[in-house]
Amino acid sequence: MDMQTNFLDRLFESGLLIETGVDGLYGRSGEFEEVIAAFERLIDRFGGKDGAEAMRFPPGMNRAFFETSGYMKSFPQLAGTVHSFCGNELDHMSLLQCMEVGDDWTKGQEATDIVLTPAACYPLYPTVARRGALPMTGKLFDLQSYCFRHEPSKDPARQQLFRMREYVCMGTESHVTDFRQSWMDRGVEMMKLVGLEVEIDVANDPFFGRAGKMLANNQRDQNLKFELLIPITSRAKPTACMSFNYHQDAFGTKWGLNLEDGSVAHTACVGFGLERIALALFHTHGLDVKDWPDAVRKVLWG
């Protein structure tokens, strides 16, 4: 049995994750949630004084904004759209008939105006763009949302519905790159406090296809993405638990985010994969939080 399935089975047996019959779609126990809540409080202790404006969106976003974002250009394989039955009574009858005989009943479902949120910050950009120009001193936002990515896997650290906590910074190039650097330093410090072994490395997003290979190479060449990696189900391939992304002026241009002097805003974001961090803690310190080192418990629960 490989490491991933083994760890997943142990998580099910301990009740920390609850099986649903779909790979990557799990329930969480109260104890699991307690760890996530405690880690989020730790994030607040580090980032809370920065004056970020908090916003919470549900895990679905406006399809029109999703289309504008260009997500389908880069990651069509990961996107999840929400479809519903929009027919009449006759259509309903044939739908039930389809289900009865085991035919594909979903083929008549129609796309709604909602798409599952692929990253917590996606609904933010059009929201901020509607407000008008950003101050020259920049703006900082605090987000958290369940996110969806269609990548079924037995690796408990690769879930299809998971939570992402994010800080997003908008401003001048130096402002947002300083923000990103400060969180790379903070990330290492935070993980050290909770006894996790980390490394930071340059990374790329999982762009689709051969064109994606080029986008990935470009992203790496320009050091646009870094990840904080922690071994969970593999030591050779540690899991990205945080990412630090500099978008240059790509989102600023796309969404019309301008600074007060009319220049296009640069943006950067730092993301925490909350389930992955919780899993790293359980994997490193044991499946029962009562057995965790006192120093780690003290950082998380005081």
Cα distance between residue 98 and residue 296, in whole Å: 54
Angle between helical axes of 274-285 and 3-14 (0-180°, round to 10): 90
The minimum distance between CB 211 and another protein, in angstroms, equals: 4
Question: Is residue 215 within the footprint of another protein (CB under 8 A)?
Answer: yes
In the Cβ-directed half-sphere of 209, how many Cα atoms lie within 13 Å? 7
Per-residue contact flags (x/-) with another protein for residues 252 to 291, judged by CB under 8 A: ----------------------------------------
Contacts from 183-190 at CB under 8 Å and sequence distance 24+? Answer: 183/47, 183/242, 183/244, 183/270, 184/226, 184/228, 184/244, 186/46, 186/47, 187/228, 187/242, 187/244, 187/270, 188/228, 189/46, 190/42, 190/43, 190/46
Question: Is residue 223 within the footprint of another protein (CB under 8 A)?
Answer: no
Per-residue contact flags (x/-) with another protein for residues 175 to 204, judged by CB under 8 A: ------------------------------
Q: Which of 214, 288, 293, 295 binds another protein (CB under 8 A)?
A: 214
Per-residue contact flags (x/-) with another protein for residues 11 to 50, judged by CB under 8 A: ----------------------------------------
Q: Please state, in angstroms and as integers, the Cα–Cα distance from residue 79 to each residue in 62, 115, 116, following that order.
A: 13, 8, 7
Of 136 and 211, nearer to another protein (C-beta) is: 211
**Nearest Cα residue to 268 out of 250, 254, 286:** 250
Mind giving me the DSSP string for 174-196? HHHHHHHHHHHHHHHHHHHHTT-
Of the ranges 59-67, 145-153, 197-205, 214-222, which one interacts with another protein (CB under 8 A)? 214-222
Cα distance between residue 160 and residue 95, in whole Å: 27
Cα distance between residue 216 and residue 56, in whole Å: 30
Cα distance between residue 184 and residue 192, in whole Å: 13
Q: Which of 222, 223, 237, 295 binds another protein (CB under 8 A)?
A: 222
3-class SS of residue 159: coil
The minimum distance between CB 217 and another protein, in angstroms, equals: 4
Q: Which of 20, 217, 223, 234 binds another protein (CB under 8 A)?
A: 217
Of the ranges 48-56, 152-160, 209-217, 236-244, which one interacts with another protein (CB under 8 A)? 209-217
Of 132 and 209, nearer to another protein (C-beta) is: 209
Question: Is residue 107 within the footprint of another protein (CB under 8 A)?
Answer: no
Question: Is residue 70 within the footprint of another protein (CB under 8 A)?
Answer: yes
Of 184 and 215, nearer to another protein (C-beta) is: 215
**Nearest Cα residue to 42 out of 242, 288, 224, 244:** 242
Total of residues contacting another protein (CB under 8 A): 12
DSSP 54: E
Question: Is residue 73 within the footprint of another protein (CB under 8 A)?
Answer: yes
Question: Is residue 221 within the footprint of another protein (CB under 8 A)?
Answer: yes
Binding site for another protein (CB under 8 A): 70, 73, 210-211, 213-215, 217-218, 221-222, 250
